[in-house]
Amino acid sequence: MPIRLSQPKEPREFKLPLDVAVKTRPCTTPVIEMAMSRSGRVIGDIEQGMTDLSLVGHDVDSLRDLIRNPDYRAGIAQFAYACALGEALIMEWSGSGVQDEDGNVGPITPDNIRDVMLHPSIARTFVAEVTKIPVALASEGNG
């Protein structure tokens, strides 16, 4: 079995649900680890009552109560993971799903990425697409 020691270095373009198209940097192990770390840190910040978090339309006090439910906690962690990957990897986006009220494509900002990732079909598809190559490499024994 041949071993591929490197990943593609060129950006990728793909379509997401709800008329969103993105161009992303290659997803690498450090990016995945960063996103996982941020996801865990967000949960910790919520538990500690950090007041500067704006996540899923809740204030931190209500989120702190909600994450006592392990399923809700997992959902917040996965959402934070998708947002972190988006912030690290999205270079460009287009489509009606990222347009403002005037029909202009919105800027790629943490708040806009959060709002786009609030759509479960977008977040799930985005994570699956950007991690497809690293997951395939790991399954070949190159992890």
pLDDT digits (tens, 9 = 90+) for 14-31: 999 999 999 999 999 899
The pTM assigned to this predicted structure is: 0.87
Judge whether residue 78 has pLDDT over 70. Answer: yes
Partnered with residue 129 across adjacent β-strands are none
- Percent of the chain scoring above 90 in pLDDT: 64
Distance CA 120, CA 79 (A): 9
Q: Output the furthest CA–CA distance in the chain (Å, rounded).
A: 53
DSSP annotation string for 94-122? ESGGGB-TTSPBPP--HHHHHHHHTSHHH
Q: Rounded mean pLDDT of 75-86?
A: 95
> Tokens standing for 120?
């479960």
> Tokens standing for 91?
């270079």
Query: Would you state the pLDDT for residue 49?
Result: 75
Query: Would you state the pLDDT for residue 112?
Result: 94
